[in-house]
Amino acid sequence: MLFVLDYRHSGNSPIARGHNRDMTSLEGIDMAEAAAGGPSRSANASRSPTDSDLVADLRDGSSAALGILFDRYSDRIYNYCFRRTASWDVAEDATSATFLEAWKSRDRTQVYDESALPWLYGIATNVCRNLSRKQRRHLYAVGRLPRERDVPDHADGVATRVDDERRMSELLAAIRELPQRDQDVLVLVAWSGLSYEQAAAALDVPIGTVRSRLARARKRLAAITEKRDQS
């Protein structure tokens, strides 16, 4: 079967690992410097700041708070963007765009169950949804690339990236037969591990809507993958 309905990526999965990312600055915001210091009340606290602390500081304009949130969640956002795009390079750009948008919309920052992650996932969902047509054509092209079998040792990393993208493109080809709103719920809950409540917060919809969309998505996707397996 092409897709496992309750599949969740682990941190050790080849698809979930980052690949030499370099997202140290976001249009004038130096993330390394922001994480190291700056006008953040919570960053100077003796205890590790909670997301609620960081959100309060971020609303006050603290780039240091954004830097800490970046260090805390950028890997998860990056993996999520890869699952939505099937391209490591596009996922890197989408992750940067997500945190840049978080900075621009800092006055609307939200926490749910003491976590800013649902809010960040919501931003990332919109970023990935708005990918250009050129980028989407690239994703489909990657999905048609042949699998590399024998490659030189120095090219192992490149071959792994290409293979990850090819496999994820195959999965997304099936998922994209679903309505966009059903895709969003499926990836957030089944792949990213959000609860119904967190997914509802990320998408700004009622919990009941998340439940109904997820049930519908799983049923439709099961039929799609069964049809693909028989062809």
pLDDT per residue over 39-97, tens digit each? Answer: 555 545 467 899 999 999 999 999 999 999 999 999 999 999 999 988 888 899 999 99
Which phi and psi angles does 179 have, rounded to 5°? -60, 150
User: 3-state SS of the chain?
Assistant: CCCCCCCCCCCCCCCCCCCCCCCCEECCEEHHHHHHCCCCCHHHCCCCCCHHHHHHHHHCCCHHHHHHHHHHHHHHHHHHHHHHHCCHHHHHHHHHHHHHHHHHCHHHCCCECCECHHHHHHHHHHHHHCCCHHHHHHHHHHHCCCCCCCCCHHHHHHHHHHHHHHHHHHHHHHHCCCCHHHHHHHHHHHHCCCCHHHHHHHHCCCHHHHHHHHHHHHHHHHHHHHHHHHC
CA distance 204 to 135: 27
What number is the average pLDDT over the span 10-35?
Answer: 45
Average pLDDT over the chain reads 78
- What is the structure's pLDDT at 95? 95
pLDDT per residue over 79-89, tens digit each? Answer: 999 999 888 88
- Where in the chain are all domains bearing CATH 1.10.1740.10? 11-144+156-168
Asked whether the whole model's pTM tops 0.75, one would answer: no
Overall fold of domain 177-231: Arc Repressor Mutant, subunit A (1.10.10)
Q: Going by CATH, does the domain composed of 11-144+156-168 fall within 3.30.2000.10?
A: no
Q: Which two tokens stand for residue 66?
A: 């954004």
- Where in the chain are all domains bearing CATH 1.10.10.10? 177-231
